[in-house]
Amino acid sequence: MWRAAYRNIVAHRLRLALTTLTVALGIAFVAGTNIFTDSLQSSFDSLVAQPRPDVTVSPRTELDQPGDGGTAIDGSALTLPQGLVNELADIPAAEAAYGRVTSDRAYVLDANGDILGPDGPPARVTSWVGIDEASPLRITEGAPPVGPDQVAVLVATAEEGGFSVGDEISIATDNAGVVSPTISGLVSRTLSGGLGGTLVVFDFATTQQYYLAPDLVNSIGVMAAPGVSQDALASAITGVLETKDLGPISVQTGQESADEASERIEEGFRFLNTFLLAFGFLALFVATFLIVNTFTMLIAQRTRELALLRAIGASRRQVFGSVLLEAALIGALASVIGLAGGVLVSYGLRALVDRIGATLPAAPLVIENSTLILAAVVGIGVTVLSALGPAKRAATIAPVAAMRSDSAPSSRSLRRSFVIGISFIALAIPFAIASLNISADETQQRAAVLGASAVLAIIGTVLITPTLADLLFGWIRGAYRTSGVSKLAVENARRNPRRTSATASALSIGLALMTAVTVIGTSARTSIGTVIEQTIGADFVITNSAFRPLEPKVYQSVKDVPGADVVTYIRTVPLEVGEERFTLTGVETEYISDVIDVQVTAGSLEDLALGTALVDSETATTLGVGPGDTVAATFVNGPGSLRIVGIYEPIGFLQGFFATMPTVMSIGALERDTGVYITASDESQVEALRAELNRRIDGIPEAQVQDQADIKREINQQFDVLFIFVYALLGLSILVAFLGIVNTLSLSVYERFREIGLLRAVGMTRRQIRRMISTEALWIAVLGTLLGTTIGLIYGTLFQRILATEGITYLDIPWLQIGFFIIAGSAGGLVASIWPAWRASRMRILSAISTE
């Protein structure tokens, strides 16, 4: 039996190659995902393991826990007195202490004065530490920076800008405008690559001068004396700090900060991991349809052969075993190929993730044993499980089947799977209704219930597809008056509804997801666009292109711009009520209505005073407060309260608390503006105003002037990148589905070789044969595409309704794009048919009709 299994693989190598490829693609994705995330993990591990001070002392806000390293608001704006550095260096447990100044506004400029690199990643600057044990930075070329005219830059930054040691480089500073120091050296991080963005390094005094103020530092690093543990040092430092009144301060040991870093990284990538794995399994799931198909057909073709084996004495178990063994061998081969493909996929994923803007550390490829095991288990497991059904059927072939001339598989009734399928769909409906009825706050729960409904609907549809195919193709068949090429093609598609629909289903699953994602994405885009139109009344908004707050000098330089009617700014600051975090937006009450449309339903913006706030109606419901109530909250500078004096309707990003600027400043907001809003006094002079605004912020590279259209365009671009990412992932399952069409068609061409020979004999041309096969493929693809887009449309729409509370208020179905999916999906079917059709047309007539 071993030999029989082996012989079969050799004899049917072409068909098996296709099956192997299909399984290998799925595995490539799963393995690739694993390799990608393992590699990422290892590079983050090295990032976590990098040198850091034994204890870091940094200021914090009241919203942060004492052990946290992070801050709720722009960290570089919080400071400690420089005098503390020497005091800490003097405690016996400490060997040394140093002050550090950091900022992420050190924009490196290119020759045109534009910010180097893509928007988003921070433009970091740090003061040179010079203690190897405390800092991951190393000079790789040249020397550390000394004095205001020298700077060291990260190797990656130098590469990106084409700088080398000795060159002049333009860097934006907070206090001295754009400076042009000479590059004294290049720095690299130990153990791992950069985290994206740019990094420049000045000496301590220079960094302090450019980005902070005299006698202040952003944080202090302390190294322990020999024999002193990090914890002991930390408690000694805490002891010293307790004698002073410096506001909330965080004292974090090196170990704690490493732990926090790794936790944050894990959290950040857990979603991506799950997401990618889900797509990998989707591809495998689609692949199982095709594997089952292939084995069913292989067995059907070999009925006579297997029956003969049974007739000459092979036991059921042996036939069963030989088919499973065949499957296992294919699975093993597919695992090996898939693993190799996985390496490629992991590179592809990197490129994709890079494209979304998250620059990842350069990392060596890590292939863990678990990846190898997973590939083998999934590859062999999926194939063997898929072959189980066909193998069972093979084992029940009666020996007499060898004597029957006709080996057509008995067409089992479709009714059972139809009934089960309909029950699944019937079950999906109450789930969908329930998801819409669950309280609007529980978005996650609603999405989960609707997701369950979607899974039920998809399974149900897969089960009823054979019946649908039978009905649809039967109907189409009836519409043809003559039995030319087209009718024969429909007949062929209808001949084995199970096979046809398994092939079509593989396609429809991918397309359903693609359509749903497109509907949700387009709706989100439209909703945000509409919100922007409805809320922003200003002609121009100035924001930071790196998604950070603006320094007050931006407002200062444009506030008296001629041609403007109103120039105002807003500031935001986080606050906590109970455990939940909200945003408090500070506005200039006399101007805000001119630039932002706030739908106030109770009270008014003009009546706001110190310590009072408006709140949006949803937050009010969540907190159970109304006008006149006082809300106890934690602000960045400690506990306090706000009195609610009015309610407004939330729209999109417009939510949380509104208060006057003095209120916001009184609870610890920084002198940083979220945006500056400008309205023109004369609508015909808008372009002149734009030019003047741009001229005024010329020396502030991070500031950008945008009108409504610009903002929308920027948001659209972000969505486009996201779409590309999801499409690229879903594309894999669709590719597998098309391979399935190739597979099914070549198998049925093989099965029908006599019929094709007969058709050729009675006068069908090669071209007509090709057309017949292509038309069959087209019908299969059309069936899959239509079902897929229909499910996608239904569930895309339902998800939009659920996400309406999360800001996706408007349903926007991109009919054009969905039409494109339908056409492209069908065209894909045609492309998939090229090769099988070509083979069919080349079949020798005589071998077809003279084989018994």
Partner 1 sequence: MTEDRKPAIAAVDVRKVYGSGETAVVALAGISLDVPQGQFAAVMGPSGSGKSTLMHCLAGLDSVTSGSIELDGTEITELSDNKLTQLRREQVGFIFQSFNLIPTLNALENIRLPMDIAGQRPDQAWLDTVIDTVGLRDRLTHRPSELSGGQQQRVAAARALASRPTIIFADEPTGNLDSKSGGEVLGFLRKSVDELGQTIVMVTHEAIAASYADRVIFLADGFLVDELFEPTPERVFDRMKSLDTPGKAAV
User: Which positions touch partner 1 (CB under 8 A)?
Assistant: 405, 408, 482-485, 487-488, 491-492, 494-495, 754-755, 758-768, 845-846, 849-850, 852
Residue number, 11 or 845, with CB nearest to partner 1: 845
Nearest approach, Cβ of 282 to partner 1 (angstroms)? 34
Position 193, amino acid: G
Nearest approach, Cβ of 497 to partner 1 (angstroms)? 13
Residue number, 274 or 847, with CB nearest to partner 1: 847
Position 147, amino acid: G
CA distances from 400 to 17, 304, 319 (A): 31, 9, 15
Nearest approach, Cβ of 301 to partner 1 (angstroms)? 16
Q: Are 173 and 179 a contacting pair, CB within 8 Å?
A: yes
Position 91, amino acid: I
Position 464, amino acid: I
Spatial distance between the Cα atoms of 183 and 202, rounded to a whole number of angstroms: 10
Residue 764 has φ and ψ, to the nearest 5°, of: -85, 130
Nearest approach, Cβ of 766 to partner 1 (angstroms)? 6
CB-based contacts of 174, cutoff 8 Å, min separation 6: 103, 105, 210, 211, 212, 551
Residue number, 274 or 483, with CB nearest to partner 1: 483
Nearest approach, Cβ of 411 to partner 1 (angstroms)? 11
Residue number, 164 or 850, with CB nearest to partner 1: 850
Residue number, 19 or 841, with CB nearest to partner 1: 841
Pick from 656, 681, 672, 709: which is nearest to 541 by CA? 709
Residue 391 CA from chain centroid, whole number: 40
DSSP 3-state of 192: coil
Nearest approach, Cβ of 457 to partner 1 (angstroms)? 32
**H helical segments located in 412-496:** 415-437, 443-479, 485-495
Residue number, 511 or 848, with CB nearest to partner 1: 848
**H helical segments located in 630-673:** 661-666
Pick from 827, 791, 795: which is nearest to 811 by CA? 795
Nearest approach, Cβ of 412 to partner 1 (angstroms)? 16
CB-based contacts of 654, cutoff 8 Å, min separation 6: 531, 535, 596, 598, 616, 648
Q: Compute how many other C-beta atoms are within 10 angstroms of the C-beta atom of residue 823.
A: 11
Find the length of the chain: 852
Residue number, 148 or 409, with CB nearest to partner 1: 409
Residue number, 485 or 703, with CB nearest to partner 1: 485
Nearest approach, Cβ of 491 to partner 1 (angstroms)? 4
Beta bridge partners of 633: 640
Residue 578 CA from chain centroid, whole number: 31
Residue number, 519 or 749, with CB nearest to partner 1: 749
Nearest approach, Cβ of 295 to partner 1 (angstroms)? 23
Nearest approach, Cβ of 499 to partner 1 (angstroms)? 14
569's tokens: 């700014």
Angle at 599 between CA 596 and CA 605, to 5 degrees: 70
Residue number, 375 or 469, with CB nearest to partner 1: 469
